[in-house]
Amino acid sequence: MSDLIELEELPVEAEHSMREEIRRVSERMRGRRVATSRVMVALCGVALVVAAVPLVALLYQLFDKGLSQIDWSFFTHLPETPTIIAPNATGGVSNAIVGTIALTIYASIVAIPVGVLVGVYLAETESKLATSLRVVSQTMAGAPSILMGLFAFSFLVHDLNIGFSSIAGSFALAVLMLPVIIISTEIAVRNVPNSLREAGLALGAKSHKVSLKVVLPSSITGIVTGCILAISRAVGETAPVLLVIGGGFTNSWQPFDPVSAMPLAIFENAKSEYPSQRAQVWGIALVLVIFVFLLSLTARIWASRKQQVRN
């Protein structure tokens, strides 16, 4: 209190110089704060650039080295093994493309219906089973994909003795896809407003009719988005199929034949001693990445369509 009074009683010149002093100090502090802020903002920008450089370099090299490898025979011919006499004879990769498509289709046929049904169950009931399955599916969604391969190997190839085959590979991929589909279906179904359900029930419809004719149609975009994302993840996975599909050299759609797959062909040929084979790997990688990007973009467009319908 006494300080305040003293301050009031200060001579005009002293008060003036004091204000000047305060202004100078605060100006200096402010200058320091602004400078720190600028430096840190610049550092964040640097982090953005540092993050972008390797990723851009990866994409650039993928297109640069991959495009020249792709021609018509790349898609239609079977692979050849280069020899010392013909070191450039690599052939095409049709077996890997056929294998990837077959594996993905078989896996989707099982995983999509089961995943969607489980997702609907988790969204529409409240029980201990549902709660624990939710935790299980969220944990499985992050599990290392090689474990799916170990599971498919010990269950199908070893215990049931069906051999290295595309059915074993698609089983592993289906286990990989299930949790992704379940989680996205559950979110999509829960996002359907309750008033729609109540309207259906009030009209006298049975709960399964409401679920099939009201809830599922209004959540279909979310479900389809989730399924496409699951497929795009399955297409690119190497580890689960590496252990169980056997790496066949023919174009086989048969479920019990050994097949190849694009990620597997990349993994095996990347360490090849022939430069021609190492170069061809970039072509396979480019096709694979374009395929995955197209799937992800389709999923995003579906998702944004959903938002537009909402609005």
Partner 1 sequence: MSVDQIPNAGLLEYEAVMVGDKPTVTSRTWYHWLLLTAVILFAAVSVGFVGTIFWSSFPTWAHHGFTLLTGKGWVSPDGPFGGLAMITGTLETSLIALVIAVIIGLGTAISIVFFIPRRFRTVVATLVELLAAIPSVVYGLWGLLVIAPWMEVTVNPWLNSWPFAKGIFGSPGQEFGTSLLLASVVLGIMILPTFVAISREVIAVVPQDLMEASLSLGATRWQMIRQVVLPTAKIGLLGATFLALARATGETVAVALVAGSVANAQFHLLYPGTSIAAWIATEFGESQGKEISALMALGVLLMLVNVCLALISRALVNRQRRILAKV
CA distances 271 to 155, 195, 215, 219, 265, Å, are 30, 58, 51, 46, 11
Quick note: the x/- pattern for partner 1 over 8-27, rule CB under 8 A, is --------------------
- Name which position in 61, 68, 88, 254 contacts partner 1 (CB under 8 A): 61
Q: Residue 191: which of 297, 120, 126 has the closest Cα?
A: 120
Q: What is the DSSP letter of 211?
A: I
CA distances 93 to 73, 161, 228, 269, 284, Å, are 8, 28, 24, 11, 8
Q: How far is the CB of 149 from partner 1 (least distance, A)?
A: 8
Contacts of residue 182, Cβ cutoff 8 Å, sequence gap at least 6: 115, 118, 119, 122, 137
Task: Count other Cβ atoms within 10 Å, centred on residue 129.
Answer: 10
Q: How far is the CB of 177 from partner 1 (least distance, A)?
A: 12
Q: Which stretch binds partner 1 (CB under 8 A): 4-12, 87-95, 112-120, 250-258?
A: 112-120
Q: Does 154 bind partner 1 (CB under 8 A)?
A: yes
Task: Count other Cβ atoms within 10 Å, centred on residue 209.
Answer: 13
Q: How far is the CB of 121 from partner 1 (least distance, A)?
A: 4
Q: State the Cα–Cα distance between residues 107 and 111, nearest whole angstrom.
A: 6
Q: Is 78 helix (H, G, I), strand (E, B) or coil?
A: coil
Q: Does 136 bind partner 1 (CB under 8 A)?
A: yes
User: By CB under 8 A, how many residues form the interface with partner 1?
Assistant: 100
Q: Does 100 bind partner 1 (CB under 8 A)?
A: no
- Name which position in 44, 84, 85, 309 contacts partner 1 (CB under 8 A): 44
Q: What is the DSSP letter of 142?
A: T
Looking at residues 281 to 300 of the shown chain, list those that interact with partner 1 (rule: CB under 8 A): 281-282, 285, 288-289, 292-293, 296-297, 300
User: In the complex with partner 1, which residue's Cβ is closer, 9 or 159?
Assistant: 159
- Name which position in 69, 145, 225, 260 contacts partner 1 (CB under 8 A): 145
User: In the complex with partner 1, which residue's Cβ is closer, 18 or 40?
Assistant: 40
Looking at residues 247 to 266 of the shown chain, list those that interact with partner 1 (rule: CB under 8 A): 263, 266
